[in-house]
Amino acid sequence: MTATTDGSTGAALPSRAPAASDATAETTDRSPATPPPAPDGLTGTARQATARATEYLLSLQDPAGWWKGDLDTNVTMDAEDLMLRQFLGISDPKTTEAAARFVRGEQRDDGTWASFYGGPGELSTTIEGYVALRLAGDRPDEPHMARSSAWIRAQGGIAASRVFTRIWLALFGWCKWEDLPDLPPELIALPKWFPLNIYDFGCWARQTIVPLTIVSAHRPVRPAPFALDELHTDPRNPNPPRPLAPLTTWDGVFQRLDKALHAYHKVTPRRLRRSAMRTAARWIIERQENDGCWGGIQPPAVYSVIALHLLGYDLDHPVLREGLASLDRFTVWREDGHGAPVRMIEACQSPVWDTCLATIALADAGLPRDHPQLVKAADWMLDEQIDRPGDWAVRRPTLPSGGWAFEFENDNYPDIDDTAEVVLALRRVEHPDPQRVEDAVRRAVRWNLGMQSRNGAWGAFDADNTSPFPDRLPFCDFGEVIDPPSADVTAHVVEMAADVGATHDPRIRRGIEWLLAEQDPTGAWFGRWGTNYVYGTGSVLPALVAAGIPASHPAIRRAVSWLESVQNDDGGWGEDQRSYKDRDWIGRGASTASQTGWALMALLAAGERDSKAVERGVQWLAATQRPDGSWDEPYFTGTGFPWDFSINYHLYRQVFPLTALGRYLGGGPAPAAVRS
């Protein structure tokens, strides 16, 4: 299902059969054709598709043992990279033009940029995309630029954009720092028990906000190479005051707090401010990873480089030199249709996540457990286990480490979701050193169970990261800034526990109770880190069944009925990112390989192997598979921040269909190859 993509604010009402739009016109036709001929019906068809997909996925493995698909987000990553280079004075024509080719290629006919494939135009994304092209030399009177600026003005102009966009513009004088929300570096000194201390923020927000407090304190302005009057509704009054909410509301309270912080900025004792910035700088530097990045993600690296540069670190200083070098590792180079270089920036890289999911998919598809490539993958994952404490230890100071991060380098922030899936992957491999695997699994399970939140569930990075205050700050309008427990992460922990025989642990029983209580009235579960209710349900059902909840349980039956009700007419499943803000979109969207895989995994776990829904889903996967064993999937089925930051994990379209096909053929997940 798609909605209008003409930049209108109202999305088209979803229908059961996806309609063509300008967002899908260039997409490979994925409507089912006649399934490939097979000697024994659907089972043979599935077997052939599984064999092709297995061969294709094996071909993608790096010689070191890991898998990593590209990670697409939106053009703000590319625009902010160009603005960073402009701010630091390190722009070069080759990089700028290659990035501009990518940004131009993502622009839609109405002049806008969306935050996910097929979605509506998004104001802040469009402003940043426009600025990137201006930096590349595109003139404001060129048709594609004029359409963009007209749309921006119609949406309220720069004044209506998010805080982060206006921070970038303030660096060049296109916005006034005085008109932006303030966040002082003295925040770093708040004790851990105090409201709004930095550990009340989710790890991704924490790593971003600490350097931005330094930037906010310095309020730097580097001369802009051009004006942006065309992006204001009224250039004479570019930032009209926003109305204050009543003081009786939290929004009103925090708006007035921001006014107080602006007043504090003018009278802050210099010695106190210098001390706070030194503490913040030390905090930043201590968290730089071995490869020079921060947290394995691009945004904290960008802001940390700016902050330290403002504090006097020159670009040849080892910290900044390695930080800038790390940003180059987020770069994906491609060629356009004319052979010209195109440069895309990944917000993050996902080798641990991709490797454990690929290992599970291949094992469940019947690849021998001692296959050399599975053993190599296990060796690589074992080497990536983290054996030192990170920021999570602030709330769990006595808990021994043992988790895995999402990225190549991110020892400070292992995450609970990856750790659960790595355990499931390792236990599927027949490793030549089983004791090494058992020891790693034991440490991982102990760490994961120890990260349970008070409500019985699990978040992604921290325990009990549920403060209601950070979201209220006017500064924090860029998406999720806390890390509360979610159904998908909790389900993966429960599934891991079932695999190691720990379902009777009281902590797991509480997790199961929490999951049952969290079921949506529709019968689905909300998906925090994948889109959305299809992902949540595809995560929870296999976990509950693995933990001993019978397929006849009312919660399981409600979920099965919901999945059957949202199956598309073509036999696949899909869900648009708009379901995060509009319940009419729940379970509705163009069929995708990854989401069809999730739905099938859930139905198979619930004992529905011989159902018509499963048969049609398997047929859709087989019919839409490419000859090389891959699937096409332009749609974004991953989630960074619900609605605000969407992700297309390029390996999702390979691992989840293969997992589903393997479980269809094998009767369920592959049993563990190592003892508990």
Which amino acid appears at position 585 of this protein? W
Return d(Cα 373, Cα 673) in angstroms, integer: 15
Q: What is the DSSP letter of 227?
A: -
Strands (E) located in 399-543 = none
Q: Which residues contact 248 (CB under 8 A, 6 or more apart)?
A: none
Which residue among 354, 364, 415, 417 is the active-site one?
417
CA distances from 451 to 396, 493, 593 (A): 7, 10, 32
Torsion of CA 295, 298, 299, 300, to 10 degrees: 30
Residue 81 · residue 302 · CB < 8 Å: yes
Q: Which two tokens stand for residue 342?
A: 């195109």
Q: What is the DSSP letter of 178?
A: G
How many residues are present in the chain?
A: 676
Residue 153 CA from chain centroid, whole number: 30
Residue 343 · residue 331 · CB < 8 Å: yes
Annotated catalytic residue 417: yes
Q: Which residues contact 214 (CB under 8 A, 6 or more apart)?
A: 185, 277, 280, 281, 307, 310, 311
CA distances from 435 to 233, 387, 430, 584, 674 (A): 66, 17, 11, 50, 9
Residue 113 · residue 107 · CB < 8 Å: yes
Q: Which two tokens stand for residue 380?
A: 């690589």
Residue 646 pairs with which residues in a beta bridge? 639
Strands (E) located in 74-203 = none
3-state secondary structure 250-271: HHHHHHHHHHHHHHHHHHCCHH
Q: What is the largest CA-CA distance in the chain?
A: 81
Catalytic center residues: 417
